[in-house]
Structure 1
């Protein structure tokens, strides 16, 4: 099968040549691609010298890089890995195995079980747990590591996913997209190392953490509209019943409505609940039809390219 290793990089001159060489040894038949995200150092030149195919992506942000990778590289199976030399190349075949055998569309190399004490910066562990908890609650499927940059994909997944993220929230989007569209997701434990001295993470703990949580909320609304708007409709309906009960109780005692504003609020909340529920039902139907069309088109594209 045609395989491709996709390495997104931004200012990884200290590590990119080693990463390319390691994955060349681990997957000698694979095409090694380095996507240089407007680096200001010698990342592109060093990757080229190490034998990789280099593609420059001027639009900054990991999501923009992944969009370019997924659209431009043709293969049957894909392996994505960060260029910071924290993921072991010797686990590449293990990640690809489930995809090659047809048991999974995306395999995530989970880092949280095996890592050095200095692998994660302060608050990163808590942030990952918060993201895992949020996705498990909202999408009903527990995952061990949402933010891992070490993943294997099937061609069908790569050519189906309309990458919308621009930054580090891309891993969250890929995970949620797989869950919401019935792609088979599996996880394999991989050891996670420490960046070498002089190499710095580009992840901003609070800014990018907020973006990830915001992305989860938007994806929940877009991919689970009936549950999102249905929950809002239920809350509005319960509030309407509460205010309405107060008005009815008052009328039963006095024979008059002395708080007309409360009665108007109860009626408005009831109308809001109806509108929210109708919105959820309509968007859910549209979403289902759109997914059906997307899958049919993707299946045809994948079959045509395979032939």
Structure 2
């Protein structure tokens, strides 16, 4: 018989038409001793709510649409110090939850992400590529070293979760939560987990990857706007270098001089180089700020 974690952890499962998998998810959780289960249903048109309620889970109707609204709906119902969000499609094994909880408690973390290291073949190739790009971009913008910021299984300290505004929509919520923790307490980590093949129809589409990237940009604009301004300005370096190469080629090969284009190319290259250096400097200063905040937190403890 497994231990009962009901007083420590609430498992939040956002659902939408998951009647094929929700029973397997709840049974898997109960076998691991997780009985405090909150299903936030986004007005499913199948029997998801009936099945979940029949298996002892608490079921509430979601306010609004999308995953972010599902988590926002769940927060007032949570009375435990930790909550864990996981998808209702049976892709995330409940056996890993104890590992996430142990790491959060032992290392005093506010978020622990279940990084999908094993079973990545069950993630569509385009989704894998998009996740890699988003995670790398996130690490650059927020000074982290995560490997799967888009994972659908993550453990949170309830107190910190209540501080989040949840301005993003849908699948961008994972990035917003991680951005908040990475920009405030910095107490964020991850645990490698297995990812199983999805049961039922997938809800993540190709367009969601672009929307998540856009939301990540918006979050970075909120948490580190100076870096984004200089980074955007540095993009002028690409056409300026191309123009410089064209002017130089025409001069050396055809002995044709482009005085105006040469001035534009040199000016653009100079602006691009300066903007790049300033972007690097602001990124360094932001990371220095993160380290100082972390040291102050350690002193307070």
Same-fold status (TM-score > 0.5): yes
2:125 aligned counterpart, secondary structure: coil
The Cα shift of 1:225 comes to 1.9
The Cα shift of 1:58 comes to 4.6
Could you tell me whether the CA contact under 8 Å between 1:77 and 1:99 is conserved in 2?
no
Change (3 A) 1:139 1:108: same
1:169 aligned counterpart, secondary structure: helix
Residue of structure 2 aligned with 1:43, choices 19, 32, 48: 48
The Cα shift of 1:230 comes to 4.7
1:213 and 1:134 mapped to 2: Cα distance? Answer: 9
2:162 aligned counterpart, secondary structure: helix
1:123 aligned counterpart, secondary structure: helix
Could you tell me whether the CA contact under 8 Å between 2:63 and 2:73 is conserved in 1?
no
Unaligned 5+ residue runs, structure 1? 240-258, 282-287, 293-307
1:234 and 1:151 mapped to 2: Cα distance? Answer: 35
Paired position in structure 2 for 1:202: 203
Unaligned 5+ residue runs, structure 2? 1-6, 241-259, 283-288, 294-301
Paired position in structure 1 for 2:139: 136
Paired position in structure 2 for 1:191: 194
1:18 and 1:194 mapped to 2: Cα distance? Answer: 13
The Cα shift of 1:80 comes to 1.2
Q: What do you get for the CA RMSD once the two structures are aligned?
A: 3.3
Residue of structure 2 aligned with 1:66, choices 43, 68, 71: 71
2:138 aligned counterpart, secondary structure: helix
Could you tell me whether the CA contact under 8 Å between 1:148 and 1:171 is conserved in 2?
yes
1:169 and 1:41 mapped to 2: Cα distance? Answer: 25
Number of equivalenced pairs: 251
1:232 and 1:121 mapped to 2: Cα distance? Answer: 31
**1:19 matches 2:25:** yes
Paired position in structure 1 for 2:57: 52
Q: Could you list the runs of 4 or more consecutive aligned residues of structure 1 that deviate by over 6 angstroms after TM superposition?
A: 233-236
Q: TM-score, normalised by structure 2?
A: 0.73
**1:1-307, aligned counterparts within 5 Å?**
1-28=7-34, 30-112=35-117, 114-115=118-119, 117=121, 119-196=122-199, 199-204=200-205, 206-231=206-231
Paired position in structure 1 for 2:4: none
1:214 and 1:230 mapped to 2: Cα distance? Answer: 18
2:55 and 2:167 mapped to 1: Cα distance? Answer: 31
| Deviations 1:75-95 (CA, angstroms, capped at 9, x unpaired) | 111111111111111111111
Could you tell me whether the CA contact under 8 Å between 1:38 and 1:60 is conserved in 2?
no
The Cα shift of 1:41 comes to 0.5
| 50-59 vs 97-106, which moves further | 97-106
| Deviations 1:206-236 (CA, angstroms, capped at 9, x unpaired) | 2101100100111111111232235557889
